[in-house]
Amino acid sequence: MVQSAPKLLTVDEFITQYGDSAGCELIDGELIEMEPTGPHEQVSAFISRKLNVEIDRQDVPYFIPHRCLIKLLGTDTAFRPDVIVLDQNKLINEPSWQQEPVITLGNSIKLIAEVVSTNWQNDYARKVEDYALLGVTEYLDC
């Protein structure tokens, strides 16, 4: 039996078709289904709660969106981080932000946290490198 290769998507096709779906991301044109466990969601919620308390305490112009994609320019890759802290003052420079929650500039991002579970290869290797290339200064994989 011959299996055909999966149809690859461009990042723009992915955003159009799956931008509102929290259950997938795109890596090199390949649709990756994310299947977080209950404990994974619990850890993500805990991190978000603690970060929101600190954001309020420091009274900084940061926030944590519920759904956000990170579009890596020059690739067909769009990550959906578990927790992302954005600087609302920098969003004026984001070309798509007013139409859709898509980030392309590393300086808009204050912190990304990825809770490692079933997709550990991507979280420990691929995302570390790509987020660093984007200029994300704070990345946690936990």
Domains of the chain: 36-71+80-141 (3.90.1570.10)
pLDDT at res. 128: 84
How does residue 63 score in pLDDT terms, banded at 50, 70 and 90? Answer: very high
* Predicted confidence (pLDDT) at residue 45 exceeds the cutoff of 90: yes
pTM for the structure as a whole: 0.89
Q: What is the DSSP secondary-structure string of the chain?
A: --PPPPPP--HHHHHHHHTT-TTEEEETTEEEE----HHHHHHHHHHHHHHHHHHHHHT-SEE--SS-EEEETTTTEEE--SEEEEETTTGGG-SSTTTSSEE--GGGEEEEEE--STTHHIIIIIHHHHHHHHT---EEE-
pLDDT at res. 118: 63
pLDDT for 79-100, tens place per residue? 999 999 999 999 999 999 999 9
